[in-house]
Amino acid sequence: MAYFDAASSAPLHPVARQALQASLDEGWADPARLYREGRRARMLLDAAREAAAEAVGCRPDELVFTSSGTRAVHTGIAGALAGRRRAGRHLIVSAVEHSSVLHAAQVHEAEGGTATRVAVDRRGAVRARAYAEALRPGTALACLQSANHEVGTVQPVAEVASVCREAGVPLLVDAAQSLGWGPVEGGWSLLTASAHKWGGPSGVGLLVVRKGVRFAPQGPADERESGRAAGFENIPAIVAAAASLRAVRTEAAQEAVRLRELTDRIRARVAEGVGDVEVVGDPERRLPGIVTFSCLYVDGETLLHELDRAGFSVSSGSSCTSSTLTPSHVLKAMGVLSEGNVRVSLPLGTVEEDVDRFLRVLPGAVAAVRDKLGAPTPSTVVREDELVVDARGKLCPIPVIELAKVIGDVPVGGTVRVLADDEAARLDIPAWCEMRGQEYVGEEPADQGVAYLVRRSA
């Protein structure tokens, strides 16, 4: 069995387990109390805060522990927006942030604020200039992830921080995917992270607010954690989080080289071994352990089942594996293929043999899914100048499969009109055209759906 979904949640690091067990006896009392058990709990909490602050590169009194990374993001954004209310109510986020950031932006808009979503390039990266263009007099806060959680692309945080600083706007960095690898560089103002992403326990997030940043915690008052994280402190888990952060940092440099070699291998080999694959994300500026690719004519959920049966746990941004029936907002913002999407994120210590076995299993698994769905084989019979494919009522990847089946049936210069009502088609038909060198003409409203027009170029 191989678990390749560390970007969702990493297995508990041995140091986290030891620290958790050791502090269960000392860390259960209320650290606000003055008696012996309370003082011991307070000492553990203070020591954990110092260790975490050192790893982040901030002062201990700038860092509070929250109950999750999501909670750190929600609290950080709400508090920073409220603290800068006088400056204005404009928020900037990238289009590929974690859903916790995007949902906080939606709440802000619902409450009368405005939000700009900064676009990314096809590799998933923002440009600092795009943030500079989005900044305006009423901007209260900007948010940018340190690295993307779905494709691993590293963002130009230091440049964006510098652009924001010039405008006097604080930048909140969601460092959930990268903090285990190293501190976030640049002049950021707020930072959030999540312990279970680096091998710490569930139930611990970090929220850092630099001194001098205006911050007004929202919600009911609570004295704990400087008024920034309501509720009784989970000290054993906090101790385990801090201890494991230090531990993974000591392994980080070596593991980064090793995992990068393994993900490079996957990047190279899926392209040749599987065929009709788009490897997405920046090939250079990326996290060491993440590689993401999408397979044409493949239903992501079925592929994940095939891989799970073969002993591999991976995730997917395909619409067919989500409860919302829409493709991942990250893949959508990048404009890349979403069907048959697979994210491989290797935990620390992943062994080479597991990766090689994955690469041996993958082509067969993809082929099996394609067979099942009746993926196209080339056709040579040219019949008409325009063909209509009715894929309404059919879900991803069927509309693309239907398109691919008939494109050879029209002459070069002829068009295929694909009728579809699945939201994923809007992303995947243009992506297919780009991969296949066909011309995507555009879309038109159609009866109960959308018509996507594709001109055969070759």
Active site residues: 320
The rounded Cα 203 to chain-centroid distance in angstroms is 19
- CB atoms inside a 10 Å sphere around CB 61: 11
- Cβ proximity to a copy of itself: between 313 and 415 the closer is 313
Among 71, 286, 405, 456, binds a copy of itself (CB under 8 A): 71
CB 244 within 8 A of CB 256: no
Three-state SS for 174? strand
Q: Give the residue from 177, 18, 102, 77 showing the smallest Cα distance to 332.
A: 102
Give the binding range for a copy of itself (CB under 8 A) out of 88-96, 219-227, 364-372, 403-411. Answer: 219-227
Nearer to a copy of itself by Cβ, of 25 and 371: the residue is 25
Q: b or e along 93-108 (b: 16 or more beta carbons within 10 Å of the residue's beta carbon)?
A: bbbbbbebbbebbeeb
Candidates 18, 22, 37, 356: give the one binding a copy of itself (CB under 8 A). 37
Question: DSSP letter string over 199-244?
Answer: T--TT-EEEEE-TT------SS---SGGGTS-S---HHHHHHHHHH
**Using CA atoms, how far apart are residues 266 and 286, in angstroms rounded to an integer?**
14
Q: Which of 76, 180, 203, 217 binds a copy of itself (CB under 8 A)?
A: 203
Is residue 112 part of the contact set for a copy of itself (CB under 8 A)? no
How many C-alpha atoms does 130 have within 13 Å on its Cβ side?
Answer: 18
Our finding on whether 162 is near a copy of itself (CB under 8 A) is: no
- 412 forms part of the interface with a copy of itself (CB under 8 A): no
Contact between 54 and 63 under an 8 Å Cβ cutoff? The reply is: no
169 binds a copy of itself (CB under 8 A): no
Instruction: Supply the minimum distance, in Å, between the C-beta of residue 313 and a copy of itself.
Output: 4
Our CB check for a copy of itself shows the closer of 208 and 403 to be: 208
Separation of CA 254 from chain center: 24
Strand blocks (E) in 238-350: 277-280, 290-295, 312-313, 341-345
Which of 145, 178, 244, 321 touches a copy of itself (CB under 8 A)? 321
70 sits near a copy of itself (criterion: CB under 8 A): yes
Tell the smallest beta-carbon distance from residue 244 to a copy of itself (Å).
12
Site string for a copy of itself, 120-159 (x = CB under 8 A): ----------------------------------------
Q: Is 38 in the site for a copy of itself (CB under 8 A)?
A: yes
Question: Which window, 133-141, 226-234, 281-289, 409-417, contacts a copy of itself (CB under 8 A)?
Answer: 226-234
Question: Which of 141, 171, 237, 395 is close enough to bind a copy of itself by CB under 8 A?
Answer: 237
User: Near a copy of itself by CB under 8 A, which window of 114-122, 273-281, 309-317, 400-408?
Assistant: 309-317
C-alpha R_g of the chain: 24
Would you say 213 or 235 has its CB closer to a copy of itself? Answer: 235
Cross-strand bridge partners of residue 53: none
Q: What angle do CA 322, 324, 330 make, to 5 degrees?
A: 70
Q: Does residue 12 interact with a copy of itself by CB under 8 A?
A: yes
CB of 24 to a copy of itself, least distance (A): 6
Q: Which is nearer to a copy of itself, 308 or 386 (CB)?
A: 308
- The answer to whether 120 touches 96, Cβ cutoff 8 Å, is yes
What single-letter amino acid sits at 190? Answer: L
Residues making contact with a copy of itself (CB under 8 A): 1, 3, 5, 8-12, 17, 20-21, 24-25, 27-30, 33-38, 67-71, 74, 99-100, 103-104, 106-107, 194, 196, 201-203, 205, 219-223, 230-237, 301, 304-305, 307-308, 312-315, 321, 323
